[in-house]
Amino acid sequence: MSSVVVVGSQWGDEGKGKIVDWLADRADLVARFQGGHNAGHTIQTGDAVYKLSLLPSGVTRGTLSVIGNGVVIDPWALFEEIGRVGAQGLRITPEILRIAENATVILPFYAELDRARELARGKDAIGTTGRGIGIAYEDKVARRAIRVVDLTERETLTQKLGVLLHHHNALLRGHGQTEIDGDGLVERLLEMGAKLAPFVEATWDRVERAARQGKRILFEGAQGALLDVDHGTYPFVTSSNTVAGAAAVGSGLGPGSVGYILGITKAYTTRVGSGPFPTELTDAVGRGLGERGREFGTVTSRPRRCGWFDACLVRQTVRTGGIDGLALTKLDVLDGMDEVKICVAYEGPDGARYEHLPASMRLQAAVKPVYETLEGWRDSTRGGRSWVDLPAAAIKYVRRIEELVAAPVALLSTSPDRDDTIMVRDPYDD
């Protein structure tokens, strides 16, 4: 297969940045297909560390990169990011970055409204990043969104903005916020449209032609499958489809061309923000995982909640996402532990056993993990580049994960360094 889809198989923060960077070096095109600047991918290249949010990871390797129609774009955040990586010596030009003309725009007041709505929810807050991502997707579905192509057409923009502000100004009044001046916003958006114009095109055409020519395409997702608006722990989810099926819709390619689906999977489990987390550890073990794994959000810097590996959840995302193989990351964080645990099932409040996480909010909050305990390992796995470098107990742990989630480990990452990767199966050639 010439194309690979990379998705997170948990709640995000699985280490997609390194794996995408590793694969992007061999790709002809990298396409980002959903999410917004709430994503955070950290890529380490030699001594340089790049923190990306909107830019596809391919830009760090000089690979042609596309921001697809499924992404919601804050143009101001995009150019701030371009400037930031530019200061590190990474020059982003229209020759390397293309932006879908039919992608939805995040307007300047969305973030303020997003934060106001979260505050109004009080204890029921979802835990959004407050960047207006959800509002942009709401407007898109409600057919009132401003799209990238609109930013160069004054008449169209003025008409569409009038409809959009009729809705949002009513909400702003309800939250006690200042209403938006449409005339001033039109001028700001037209100015930004001129700045974006050299990067904009019908990216679906470029991606489809690349696929038809047999070029290697890497489809890059954001967040994780458990934050999918349909298949995640609703309502504590993001506002887009994060499973692999969204790669086709969010880039304009037919589903038969997306190729091998690689699920990035952390060797334990983390989550940022609110929502159910059956294997969460609030004790010294959980704190130790967070400290050794440096579990802080790339975008928000919020500490991540940590817990044991949940095979039920990953098995579920393997099935809903059609995942062909796993890229297992951060195995080295488990080094030095006397024992490690894997969640193999849940027990409900009525004593019932569940092999997957129920959709009910009540049950998601109430189920208790059923654990299987394995022997830990004292020797380090960090920097391993072949199976012979790993302790026998660590290999046993990896094999047990494969059995429980019904998917093979295709790649095993043993440190943030891109070369510290054991390739079991090449996703491009599978």
Residue 138's CB is within 10 A of a number of other CB atoms, namely 14
CA-CA distances (angstroms) from residue 143 to 81, 90, 107, 382?
28, 36, 15, 49
Which pLDDT tens digit goes with each residue over 372-422? Answer: 999 999 999 999 899 999 999 999 999 999 999 999 999 999 887 778 889
* DSSP per position, 90-144: ----TTTEEEETTPEEPPTTHHHHHHHHHHHHGGG-----SSSHHHHHHHHHTT-
Mean pLDDT score of the chain, rounded to an integer? 91
Instruction: Kindly state the tokens that stand for 330.
Output: 């951060």
pLDDT recorded at residue 124: 64
For the chain, give the percent of residues with pLDDT over 90.
72
How confident is residue 188, by pLDDT bands cut at 50, 70 and 90?
Answer: very high
Confidence class of residue 120 from pLDDT cuts 50, 70 and 90?
Answer: low
Instruction: Please report the sign of the dihedral spanned by the C-alpha atoms of residue 131, residue 134, residue 135, residue 136.
Output: positive
pLDDT of residue 426: 86
Average pLDDT over residues 58-81: 95
Cα–Cα nearest to 84, from 53, 45, 129: 53
Q: Are 114 and 134 contacting, i.e. CB atoms less than 8 angstroms apart?
A: yes
Give the pLDDT of residue 297: 64
> What type of residue sits at position 327?
A
Tell me how far apart the alpha carbons of residues 22 and 344 are, in angstroms, rounded to a whole number: 31
Quickly state the pLDDT bin for 127 (edges 50, 70, 90). Answer: low
Mean pLDDT over residues 163-170, rounded? 92
Average pLDDT (113-119) is: 74
Express each pLDDT in 301-317 by its tens digit: 678 999 999 999 999 99
Higher-confidence position of 129 and 420: 420
Note if 417 is an active site residue: no
pLDDT band at 361 (very low <50, low <70, confident <90, very high): very high
230-242 pLDDT tens trace = 999 999 999 999 9
How far apart CA 66 and CA 64 sit, in angstroms, is: 7
Catalytic residue among 13, 139, 150, 324: 13
182 vs 68 pLDDT, higher one: 68
DSSP codes of every residue in 286-346: HHHHHHHTT-B-TTT-PBPEEE-EEHHHHHHHHHHHT--EEEEE-GGGGTT-SEEEEEEEE
What's the confidence (pLDDT) of residue 41?
76
pLDDT of residue 122: 66
Nearest to 141 by CA among 78, 230, 244: 230
Strand partners, 328: 265, 412
Q: Does residue 108 have a cis bond before it (omega within 30 degrees)?
A: no
Which residue among 37, 41, 168, 231 is the active-site one?
A: 41
Average the pLDDT over 143-162 and give the result: 96
Among 8-17, 33-42, 78-87, 113-122, the range of highest mean pLDDT: 78-87
Is 13 a known active-site residue? yes
**pLDDT value at 1 more than 60:** no
Q: Which two tokens stand for residue 117?
A: 């709505």
Residues 6+ apart with CB under 8 A from 157: 146, 150, 151, 186, 189, 190, 193
Global pTM value: 0.91
Q: How many residues does the chain have?
A: 430
Q: How confident is the model at residue 430 (pLDDT cuts 50, 70, 90)?
A: low
User: What element of type H or E holds 366?
Assistant: helix 361-366
130: pLDDT strictly greater than 80: no
Q: Torsion angle, CA of 50/51/52/58, rounded to 10 degrees?
A: 20
The DSSP annotation for 234-255 comes to TTSS-SS--STTHHHHHHT--G
Q: β-strand 325-329 against 409-413: which pairing, if any?
A: parallel
Percentage of the chain modeled with pLDDT above 70: 95
> Residue 420 has what pLDDT?
87
Alpha-carbon distance of 173 to 212, in angstroms, equals 50
pLDDT tens, 323-355?
Answer: 999 999 999 999 999 999 999 999 999 999 999
Q: How many CB atoms lie within 10 A of CB 427?
A: 24
